[in-house]
Structure 1
Amino acid sequence: MKNLLKPIALTIVIILIIVGLPQCNKMKIVTSTTDATNLVSYLEKYPDTYSEFIKVLEKSGTASFMNAYGTYTMFAPTNDAIQGYLQDLGKSSLDDISADDLKTMVRYHVLEDTISTPSFTDGKLPVPTMHGEYLITGINNENGVSRYIVNRRAIILQPNIHTGNGILHSIDHVLIPSSKSLYQRIKENPNYSIFTEALEATGLNTVIQKLTYKNDTTPNWYTVLAQSNAVYAAQKIYSFNDLKAKYTKPNANIQDPKDSLNLYVAYHILTGLKFTADLVVSPAQETLAPQEVITTVLKEEKVLLNYETANGVTDSALINRPVSDIACTNGVLHDVNNNLYIKVRNPTAVYWDVAEQPEIMKLTSIFRKGGKTVTFQVGDLKDVTWNAGTVEYFCNNPGAKDLFYWNDRLALAILKPAVGSANMNWIEFTTPLIIKGRYKVWICWRSNANTNGFGMQTWIDGYLMPRLFSFGDYNYGKTLPETDVQAQGWKRYYVGASTADHMASKLIGTVEITTTGRHKIKFITTEASGQKNSSWLDMIHFIPEGANQFSPKFATDGSIVY
């Protein structure tokens, strides 16, 4: 999903750190290939380095599946790493650790995808471990040497060793899963004593006290933006009583969700698992305070919350990255350097790349890799539903004539209703978060002459937009200047020659978004004539009614031009 903040790819943060920090050597991306048939075979070739981890695999009963065909990433601790781990536990050997605990260790060191260091971000890896938690990566700079570090603990000694069933990274420390909840992490830190009291007094500590589930398998993740006592002191708040006096009335029931202090504390808790790299993806984050959001922006390498300038004065809260991205059993903890309070929000433009669906993004060998494609059946995508047929993700090779943002798109195999219910004739998406207000809505696609005649209705939260569009619309305004194209309710939203008339963007109307949150947008074919063919959807723009509708423009390399 794209927005005004999205000149930044998820990986931009790590790029800034790797190549942009002063007085650090440029990192070399090392890749090696072995003739070992699988990860275990590679470990067995080097017993002086990995014999202890082989024992872990054997005793835990996991060696057999790591021998099997698949696509894995293994972070393999060296013998010295395991000896250090045993010493920390007060154990003399691996025989003193149960098979179940060793199985947990293995699952925490293995991902079911192939992730090499160029795909690392300054934050969580794109897929979780087999244990179900995300690993955090970054850069360790010591004596002028830069090396990757995992969970702020384990240095990668030898990265990117390619075997027959995955990639191995050799590490100098054992990785340890989270053992404490968000509430436990906050409460044990004396710097958060005022914030802890506020959580307890409002009863919101119970929300983040332990991992809970929506159903038997879906966890309720939370992200907490904690404020230290020093941050409160800068606001002349030196105790919880001072905080209470500032944000609520005397004798108020602060456990009432409508109480202003309760809302203030709830405003510091985000729904979902939001590491630093996740925060910069969306312009606004949902909080537990109903209808209230926190905006995010990336300025250089700084992640800023509620950034705004009024009368020449800039106000924001900075994510203190060295003490943030703290993984907990039920979420992630960040530290902020300024007071976060509920603000009046104005509508904010959302430039949405519909190809950025969670299930697609986690396919790191396919997502935004030129020439790669994957097909999804009904039910495969959590935030996209349709009645029949398939949805295909495809990323063009660089230099293709099509000018999709990020070079990728979704192909919808849409048919007119008369052809039959066994074919797709409607599809519904769940939007990214949109702040309430009035928005003009633009649909952006690559036209296909073979679908000419398919009129598409657009429904947003059950409201029918006034203008139809067709995936077959072609040659719109090819010979017209930009101003004439815009006057007819179209725009050239892409970076490229104006003669690239196969790329289309049409204004379909104005909609009132009545609540801040995620919404439904549904496309339904009309009874117009046509034939089955792929319809290539690129972006959907929600732009505040009074804002510039024609800038910025979007490039195939992910950049945004104003």
Structure 2
Amino acid sequence: MAMKLTTILLVVLAGITAGCQREDFSYQEKDRMFQMMDMLRADTSLSLTVEALDKAQLSGTLNTYGPFTFFAPDNQAFRNYLRNVGKAAIADFTSEEITTLMIYHILGARVRSADFVPGPQTVSTGRGDYIALDISKGTKTEALANGKARLYETDIEYSNGVVHKMDAVLDPPVLTIGAFLQQNPQYSILVAGLQRAGLMDTLMALNNAQGERIRLTLFAETNEVLNAAGITSFDAMPLGELTELMRYHIMPGSSFTSQYAGLTAAVPAIGVAERWDNTLTTLSPNSHIYYDMASQKPVNGTIDFRGSDILMKNGVLHNVDKHMVFSSAVPRTQITHVFSETLNYAYGVNGISPTAQPIISTAAGRFRYFAEASHSRAGAMVLFFEADSKDDSLVSIVRNVRKGKYKIAINYKNGNRGDLQLMYGQDKIGPVKNYGAGTTFYQNMELGTYEFATSGDKRFKWVSQASKLAAVVMDVMVLTPVD
């Protein structure tokens, strides 16, 4: 390598490439005949980036085999960045500062726009940090890196990697969530509460006991916000209550707010309302955060952000403008359980394994999927199962049901279809229903209401009755929260 590298940088870049699978490429393709750095030098819109790479002694690296992905800030991005950090030129950075900055823009694999995922990417930068992408508006020209840099030209391919141009420089995260809180006195009450609840060490750590990178999201409250709620200390709160409260402010994983909810289109035929909401799980198992992207108060219907999507070395931090407490008044999201998209069945019929999955067939099979041409949801697949004796059953697991009461309805195929009792555990939900009742081809039939004492994945069972053995076509089950 025709350059002098510090020992730490040499180790870092060796680590980048060691685990990457080398991919074949053809020098017959004109746009892939050139190494990345040679072509960056020829691009006048990236001259400041080239200067930064040279000062960081990374230029030679980007002309090695790779593969690499380089998120390249353009000249205007660097001019803005220099002004914001109070520097006149690239030369004003120390070698360590510019090296840390530029390594953060390089991934040790070829990651094209089609490979982007929402939130932190699956490939880390050279020092083990992550770039997070918002791809809710598209990946080709509208992806947003770390909530600030728009990728306006992507997938510029070279023999040893791919370049994505962007309009801002990315600051590498330098603190874990816990370290950030400790360094900012305005969080002192929250920090004391987290310490007493035994959670501060988790927020301070970069890796868990297995050496895996920790990824968490904290909804943080400043002293000002807590004082407004009448809280000056958590010392007097019972420890169990405090632990639940603090865990309620932490979500597993990390992603930006734009990934928390999307449009659920209305489907009147099955009772689904249009919405932009979602139910977010926290480290407190029986609580949840309600998030509505379309609301002026997106968190729990009453709370807004003072600052959001602040990227840390071990996750993301949001500042909220009001104390966040879980109660039964926190809204829950309507749940749409599509049978053909739910591969978690158990089928208690003679001759078929309870763990067998339904086959795709238009005509044959007692446990199968098929496309229903006349369905209210065009092209939808439906699930057919047929019982051969009393108490034969179909089991399907509905994911992420939150504690509370729900009205349960189902969309199914009308006709001479049999009697079923819906059950949760040993509890019956509503009366026995005949799935041939009614006059419409598909219908939204209410099965009953049920109040769940805990949150989590719920195992529903449809049991065939002796009065009329079931041969039923299932489409969608909808769980609508009841206050």
Q: TM-score, normalising length from structure 1?
A: 0.53
In the alignment, what sits opposite 2:376?
Answer: 403
Query: Which SS does the other structure have where 2:480 is aligned?
Result: strand
Q: Does 1:428 align with 2:396?
A: yes
Aligned pairs for 1:350-499 (under 5 A) are: 350-354=333-337, 387-389=355-357, 402-404=375-377, 411-412=382-383, 414-416=384-386, 426-437=394-405, 439-445=406-412, 447=413, 453=417, 458-461=422-425, 463-467=427-431, 476-478=438-440
d(CA) in 2 for partners of 1:163 and 1:459? 59
The 3 A distance-change label for structure 1 pair 214 and 104 is: farther
The offset of 1:225, in angstroms, is 1.0
What is the aligned length? 391
Aligned pairs for 1:37-436 (under 5 A) are: 48-49=42-43, 56=61, 58-59=63-64, 61-63=65-67, 76-77=71-72, 90-91=94-95, 105-107=106-108, 110=111, 113-114=114-115, 125=118, 128-131=121-124, 133=130, 135-137=132-134, 149-159=144-154, 169-172=164-167, 175=170, 178-211=173-206, 221-235=215-229, 237=231, 242-244=232-234, 248=237, 256=239, 258=240, 260-273=241-254, 275-280=256-261, 284-289=279-284, 291-300=286-295, 302-307=296-301, 316-320=302-306, 323-343=307-327, 345-346=328-329, 350-354=333-337, 387-389=355-357, 402-404=375-377, 411-412=382-383, 414-416=384-386, 426-436=394-404
Match of 1:537 among 467, 475, 481: 475
The answer to whether the Cα contact below 8 Å between 1:440 and 1:507 also exists between their aligned partners in 2 is: yes
d(CA) in 2 for partners of 1:214 and 1:436? 35
The answer to whether the Cα contact below 8 Å between 2:178 and 2:204 also exists between their aligned partners in 1 is: yes
The answer to whether the Cα contact below 8 Å between 2:414 and 2:443 also exists between their aligned partners in 1 is: no
The answer to whether the Cα contact below 8 Å between 1:443 and 1:508 also exists between their aligned partners in 2 is: yes
Query: Which SS does the other structure have where 1:340 is aligned?
Result: coil
The answer to whether the Cα contact below 8 Å between 2:72 and 2:105 also exists between their aligned partners in 1 is: no
After TM superposition, the structure 1 stretch with the greater mean CA deviation from structure 2, 515-524 or 190-199, is 515-524
The offset of 1:205, in angstroms, is 0.7
d(CA) in 2 for partners of 1:58 and 1:429? 51
d(CA) in 1 for partners of 2:74 and 2:315? 31
d(CA) in 1 for partners of 2:278 and 2:94? 47
The answer to whether the Cα contact below 8 Å between 1:113 and 1:127 also exists between their aligned partners in 2 is: no
d(CA) in 1 for partners of 2:142 and 2:407? 47
The offset of 1:276, in angstroms, is 1.6
d(CA) in 1 for partners of 2:339 and 2:311? 24
The 3 A distance-change label for structure 1 pair 543 and 229 is: closer
1:494-532, CA deviations, whole angstroms, 9 ceiling, x for partnerless residues?
A: xxxxxxx3x32222223231124443334567794759x
The 3 A distance-change label for structure 1 pair 151 and 286 is: closer
d(CA) in 1 for partners of 2:145 and 2:339? 26
d(CA) in 1 for partners of 2:339 and 2:114? 18
1:195-237, CA deviations, whole angstroms, 9 ceiling, x for partnerless residues?
A: 22222233221232325569787x7643211111232343465
- Whichever residue aligns with residue 122 of structure 2, its letter is T
The offset of 1:111, in angstroms, is 6.0
| Same amino acid, percent of matched pairs | 17
d(CA) in 2 for partners of 1:78 and 1:297? 33
The answer to whether the Cα contact below 8 Å between 1:77 and 1:170 also exists between their aligned partners in 2 is: yes
- Whichever residue aligns with residue 441 of structure 1, its letter is I
1:261-314, CA deviations, whole angstroms, 9 ceiling, x for partnerless residues?
A: 4443333223444532344465544444463444333454x343333xxxxxxx
The 3 A distance-change label for structure 1 pair 168 and 103 is: closer
What runs of 5+ residues in structure 1 fail to find an aligned partner? 1-34, 67-73, 116-123, 140-145, 249-253, 308-315, 361-374, 380-385, 479-500, 548-562
Alpha-carbon RMSD: 5.4
The 3 A distance-change label for structure 1 pair 185 and 291 is: same
- Whichever residue aligns with residue 403 of structure 1, its letter is S
d(CA) in 1 for partners of 2:393 and 2:156? 47
d(CA) in 1 for partners of 2:158 and 2:382? 34
What runs of 5+ residues in structure 2 fail to find an aligned partner? 1-27, 83-89, 263-276, 347-353, 361-368
The offset of 1:442, in angstroms, is 0.9
The answer to whether the Cα contact below 8 Å between 1:415 and 1:425 also exists between their aligned partners in 2 is: no
Say which one has the larger Rg.
Answer: 2
The answer to whether the Cα contact below 8 Å between 1:222 and 1:270 also exists between their aligned partners in 2 is: yes
Query: Which SS does the other structure have where 1:184 is aligned?
Result: helix
Query: Which SS does the other structure have where 1:265 is aligned?
Result: helix
The offset of 1:243, in angstroms, is 2.0
d(CA) in 2 for partners of 1:434 and 1:318? 22
Query: Which SS does the other structure have where 2:114 is aligned?
Result: coil
d(CA) in 2 for partners of 1:525 and 1:163? 61
The offset of 1:346, in angstroms, is 4.6
1:141-194, CA deviations, whole angstroms, 9 ceiling, x for partnerless residues?
A: xxxxx9864214434343577999x99642255656645322122222333232
- Whichever residue aligns with residue 269 of structure 1, its letter is I
